[in-house]
Amino acid sequence: MDRTNTRRVVITGLGMLTPLGNTVDKNWQSLCKGESGIGPVTRFDTSECRTKIAGEVKDFEPANFMEKKTARRASRFIQFSAAAARMALEDARLTIDSTNAERTGVAVATAMGGIDSFEKSHKLVMDGQREKVSPFFIPSYICNLAAGEVAIQFGAKGPLMCSVTACAAGTHSIGEAYRVIKYGDADAMVAGGTEAALSPVLFAGLDSLKVMSTRNNDPTKASRPFDKERDGFICGEGAGMLVLEELGAARARGARIYAEVLGYGNNCDAYHITSPESDGLGAAQCMNRAIKDAGLTINDIDNINAHGTSTLINDQTETRAIKRLFGERAKQIPVTANKSMLGHLWGGAGAVESIVSILTIVHGIIPPTINLENPDPDCDLDYVPQVARKAQVKTVLSNSFGFGGTNGCLIFGKYDIQ
């Protein structure tokens, strides 16, 4: 296989569900209005937790997206991925059948997998009820089953992939799917990320790390990327799925094209298990890899969709990384943080933020970073505070950084027919 070819990869379908809504349109409208999806946790008892708020997906009925029998045995992260994949395929008007199944693949990322299924089964064992552990426990828990379920439901027989790279997983999933198509190993990929990790054990672990916000009495103000008054991030759940296609195949079937995937970068700080390298070197190098892969320069980037977690170290490090790479131009580039409204969707974050990046190009609107009321003096870029902004955006750089020092960056561009 010739790895130096110039096959172009475009986006033809989008699907997402988040704390702001269960459709792409609802999410986009809410993001542009600067609405928050953060509220009190309802899924479990938080009385012993410091943090009692999160970004929960609401009014989700899995039977609307899959057979009831399948929905009953699938854990929540699998349900989310199947639902978002169905939305994306329907949006793309792409049917997978005998003519294209072997050239259509699936790549679904997650950080935690079926942690809810694990907790339930673990409790049964600890309570002396081993016989009640479901035979579907393992298939509902292991991370690659989200991708597997999507492939099975829709009959995709091409490459099957699962990135498990913490908070960068969704971005890596889309980036690797882009490469699979670019290298000629598939003509279409259903790719994205999913997470349903809101659970007592997760909260206990994060409580001990003391990294979550405790602004329990004012949840919509709790996620505050780049703001001096931030006190931690907010956990969220949800999924984002995209249909990526080789340009020629998409045009041959008359597909609507949202945008083009121009570049992808992937590297590691090799520094610390939870903290990024404070000088931003690794993140800057990853952004630069994506720009070089796209054949662009720093002057070509119109907007940055930031990782923007609302933690001191991450916000300051990402700001340093942007300034390190872009120099004087850094302050001219609008930077936006979707997590201010959604919370942090872990393995689903990069995929959801990729969709927002694409819609920014399509609609010419940059969603705001809400709750940015008292900027951190060390975070001195243009973060599009509080109110969405109309702008001509041809290229967006979307950043994701995760535990273990893993970094992922994607560049999306306005589709040019040339």
Q: Which residues are catalytic?
A: 167, 307, 344
Three-state secondary-structure class, residue 43: coil
Task: Report d(CA 301, CA 303) in Å as an integer.
Answer: 6
CB 168 within 8 A of CB 268: no
Exposure b/e, 196-205, CB count within 10 A at least 16 = b: bbbbbebbee
Which tokens in the block code for residue 329? 């131009």
DSSP bridge pairs for 105? 189
C-alpha–C-alpha distance, residues 109 and 138, integer Å: 17
179: exposed, middle or buried (Cβ count in 10 Å: 0-12, 13-18, 19+): middle
CB 182 within 8 A of CB 7: yes
Instruction: List 260's β-bridge partners, or say none.
Output: 10, 413
Contact partners, residue 207, CB within 8 Å, separation at least 6 = 49, 50, 51
Please give the full DSSP string across 262-298, using - where no structure is assigned.
Answer: EEEEEEE--S-SSSPPTT-HHHHHHHHHHHHHTT--G
The burial class, CB within 10 Å (0-12 / 13-18 / 19+), for 139 is middle
